[in-house]
Amino acid sequence: MLDQDHNRYHDRIAYNLRLSEPKVTKSESRAAAFRGFRDAIGVPLLLVGGGMTGFGALAHDIGFASWEAVLASVLVWALPAQVVAADLYTSGGDLVAIAIAAALASMRFFPMAVALLPTLDNSAGGQLGRIAQAQLMSATSWAFLMRGSAPSDPRLRLAYHTVFALTCLSIGAIGTLAGYLGAAGLPRPLALGLLFLNAASFTVLLAETRSRQALLAVLLGAGLCAPIHMVLPEASLVLASVIGGTVAFVFGDRLRKPAS
């Protein structure tokens, strides 16, 4: 009985808080959505499109059909996981193993989703809406939503993120198909180089936050990757990231202030 009263009390508080929130007009929502589209066709268009073009060329070389390559980009929507899936496909891995490997390669998105989703309005779509936003989320959309210049109201953030992510997804699908169809004229070193554009863009976006803690994590991870690769090539990227991020976190209290 007490638990029911307690739950009703919190539901009433939440309801009153929603009533006290300033209403977001349709014009404001449209403006946030348009801003998401405008931001997505800037630097993300070049970086996401370039990275997925490289994947399309790679998918062509390993024997994917064009629709399989595009479907991988749309459903997996994580370039490292797509590359892992493609590598397992060429080595004859079964579908279950490929799905598990792709999921493990995308585990980095779990803390990102935990940080991002509570900041979005959950009144539209409920739990399914949250799952859809998590699927649409990418490293690029997460980084753009975490910037101080992003909309602060949850409803505006939802409109911004939905349009931004859908635009990036469309760009990724088009880039994959373009890379697949143009694979014959795309040198393999260039195709492989394009795969690193996504990681490079995320690093630049982190640097843009001007957080000394984030910059330290990036610099340490980049500096440790090469020497660790000489000893443990299979785990160099993971170990460099974990060590760099851990050291930055441990010394975070001293470096938390933004760089001037």
Residue 19 is predicted with a pLDDT of 45
Question: What is the structure's pLDDT at 17?
Answer: 44
Residues forming beta bridges with residue 258, ordered by sequence position: 211
Query: What is the value of pTM for the model shown?
Result: 0.74
Q: Which pair of structure tokens corresponds to residue 91? A: 């080595």
Per-residue pLDDT band for 14 (boundaries 50, 70, 90) equals very low
Choose among 109, 174, 173: nearest CA to 143.
109
Average pLDDT, the chain: 80
3-state secondary structure of 123: coil
- Higher per-residue pLDDT: 190 or 102: 102
CA distance 57 to 35: 31
Q: What b-and-e string marks burial along 9-47, b requiring 16 or more CB atoms within 10 Å of the CB?
A: eeeeeeeeeeeeeeebeeebbeebbebbeebbeeebbeb
**What percent of the chain clears pLDDT 90, i.e. is strictly above it?**
20
Of 109, 54, 108, 110, the closest CA to residue 83 belongs to: 54
pLDDT > 90? residue 42: no
Residue 234, token pair as written in the block: 């299979």
pLDDT in tens, 118-142: 899 877 677 888 889 999 999 889 8
Q: What is the pLDDT of residues 182-196, one digit of tens each?
A: 876 767 677 667 766
With 90 as the cut, is the pLDDT of residue 162 above it?
yes
Distance CA 58, CA 46 (A): 18
CB 39 within 8 A of CB 157: no
155 or 235, which is more confident: 155
